[in-house]
Amino acid sequence: MLSLAKLLQLTGLSATAALVLAILIVEGRPLSLKELSEKTGYAKGHLSSILQFLESRKLVERVYEKRRKLLVKVKEKAVSNLLREHLSTLREMIQEIILEIKKDIVVAELKPFEAELMKVLKVLR
């Protein structure tokens, strides 16, 4: 489960949010705040703010059992969407790096040409 939490951290989630999400994924069922608190060691109040953040990212949702008991579960396809979004960002970053490298190569290749042009200009003066 810690490996999954570390993977989720790579997507930009905090360590706490990643751990909570990893626990919900591994458990495979909705959990109460009490259960999450027991599994993480975090206070329910702290977990509540983490869950609000995960909800805002559309990764988890609240469900109610018997109208009163609050449970939290991972939204369907949430993790695959999160990973897909992260991979898309990585792809864009890599493409930008490649473009920068290509520009640097072109500039490096132009330096000798520029030096030769400067010699020609000196002769023409």
Domain residues of the chain, as ranges? 2-76, 77-125
Q: Which residue, among 93, 29, 92, 109, has the nearest Cα to 63 in the 3D structure?
A: 29
Q: Is the pLDDT of residue 9 over 70?
A: yes
Residue 98 has which token pair? 């490649």
- Distance between CA atoms of 39 and 96, rounded to whole angstroms? 41
Which residues, listed in sequence order, are joined to residue 72 by a DSSP beta bridge? Answer: 31, 62
Quick one: what percent of the chain has pLDDT higher than 90? 48
Classified by CATH at the fold level, domain 2-76 comes out as Arc Repressor Mutant, subunit A (1.10.10)
pLDDT band of residue 44 (cuts 50, 70, 90) is very high
State residue 124's pLDDT score: 66
Q: Which residue, among 90, 68, 64, has the nearest Cα to 10 in the 3D structure?
A: 90
In the predicted model, what is the mean pLDDT of residues 100-113? 77
Which residues, listed in sequence order, are joined to residue 70 by a DSSP beta bridge? Answer: 64
Name the DSSP letter for residue 75: P
In the predicted model, what is the mean pLDDT of residues 95-124? 78
The pTM assigned to this predicted structure is 0.72
Which residues, listed in sequence order, are joined to residue 32 by a DSSP beta bridge? Answer: 71
Q: Is the pLDDT of residue 5 over 80?
A: yes
In the predicted model, what is the mean pLDDT of residues 2-25? 93
Q: Is the pLDDT of residue 60 over 90?
A: yes
